[in-house]
Amino acid sequence: MSGGWLRDTAVAMVVLALFLAFELAGFRSSSLLDFAIRFATFGLLALSLNLLIGTTGLVSFGHAAYFGMGAYSFGLLMQTGAWSIPAAILAALACTALLALVVGALCVRLSEIYFAFLTLAFQMLLHSVISSWISLTGGDQGLMGGIPKPAFLGIDLAQPSHLAGFGVFCLLLSTVALRQVVRSPFGAALRMIRDNPDRAAFVGLSVFRYRLAAFVIAGTFAGLGGVLMSLYVSGAFPSFAFWTTSGEAIFMIMLGGVSVFLGPLVGTAIFLLLNDWITALTEHHGLFMGTILLILVLGLRKGLLDFIMEHWRARKGARS
């Protein structure tokens, strides 16, 4: 354990306590709870993807595959009726990690550009397996019949307020864990591989193993996001594993910024608000989102937090 984890955990616990107190105090409008669950879900997706893009320098365009895998394996396990929720979550994460291990072993050796489109290609393979294996997954209709949510430890996820609290808890736990990963010697090695893979190899690091480990870790946390998503919609749909979901995750990271650890979470919040606003405003969702993205990419050339941080550092530098 590297330094700072105590502080991180303390901050996380304060945030969780504040959220729960907020809920208990009666601020539980359904739209707020709704937002909290979706924020936890997509926050996990974006935050885990940034371990690949921001920390390791692997631009994956197929991250939603693990999101979908988590959702489907969790949903299918729960529908058997023989699993408790915590056990099913752990099993679903194991399935997701296994998928990430197989795809990662094939992909992380490749150069940047191959990596981006091969991860996309494998994701589309998973998507087409999900939509064509109708007897297991229900095909394009999605996993129907709802997901049973037996209560555990006094937590009843069928209630939106409990689900929101659980989602925020999972997000905070993962945030602390991922921050540990990024700050550990392992994380330092990942950054070195990002900046100069040849040098890392000369120093004696196995670039392949480090990248693969990062890929599996990121995939597993995305799988947890998928589990939350399937709890939220009480089902699973092929669109979870469609390429647009991966695109949205990258969009969120871009909105927030890649260089700041919490950037993806800021991006997730902006993305969700923007998304709701545009959906309410117009049916030409793609046109508006695409245009905003273009302006951001070609205008700012970095995420909002990256931009603000750079500005702030420059000002601080000018004053001293």
* Interface residue list for another protein (CB under 8 A): 53, 59, 61, 106, 109-114, 116-118, 120-122, 124-125, 128-129, 132, 243, 247, 250-251, 254, 258, 284-287, 289-291, 293-294, 297-298, 301
- Burial class from Cβ neighbours inside 10 Å (0-12, 13-18, 19+) for residue 161 reads middle
CB of 97 to another protein, least distance (A): 19
Record the tokens describing residue 200, joined without a space: 């890392």
Residue 189 or 289 having the CB closest to another protein:
289
We find the least distance from the C-beta atom of residue 268 to another protein, in angstroms, to be 16
Q: How far is the CB of 282 from another protein (least distance, A)?
A: 10
Q: Name the residue with tokens 């940047």.
A: 112
Q: What is the CA radius of gyration of the chain?
A: 20
Residue 252 CA neighbour count, 13 Å, CB half = 31
In the bound state with another protein, the residue whose beta carbon lies nearer, of 205 and 293, is 293
- Rounded CA-CA distance 47/178 in Å is 8
Q: Give me the least distance between CB of 226 and another protein, in Å please.
A: 21
C-beta of 131 vs 230, nearer to another protein? 131
Helices 160-183 + 30-50 axis angle, to 10: 20
Please identify, using beta-carbon distances, which residue of 30 and 282 lies nearer to another protein. Answer: 282
In whole angstroms, the minimum distance from the beta carbon of 186 to another protein comes to: 23
> What's the min distance (Å) between Cβ of 21 and another protein?
39
Separation CA 156–CA 160 (nearest Å) = 9
Token digits of residue 173 = 């736990």
Closer residue to another protein in complex, CB, 112/198: 112
**Nearer residue to another protein within complex by CB, 84 or 244:** 244
Only one residue has tokens 């919609």, namely 233
Shortest distance in whole angstroms from residue 61 CB to another protein: 6
Cα distances (Å, whole numbers) of residue 73 to 6, 97, 133, 256: 33, 12, 14, 30
CB of 295 to another protein, least distance (A): 9
> Concatenated DSSP letters for 237-305?
-GGGGSHHHHHHHHHHHHHH-SSSTTHHHHHHHHHHHHHHHHHHH-S-HHHHHHHHHHHIIIIISS-HH
Q: Which is nearer to another protein, 301 or 316 (CB)?
A: 301
The angle subtended at Cα 279 by Cα 276 and Cα 284, nearest 5°, is 145
Complex with another protein: residue 49 or 172, whichever CB lies closer: 49
At 152, is the secondary structure helix, strand, or coil? Answer: strand
* Nearest-angstrom CA–CA distance, 276 and 22: 23
Give me 52's structure tokens: 């690949």
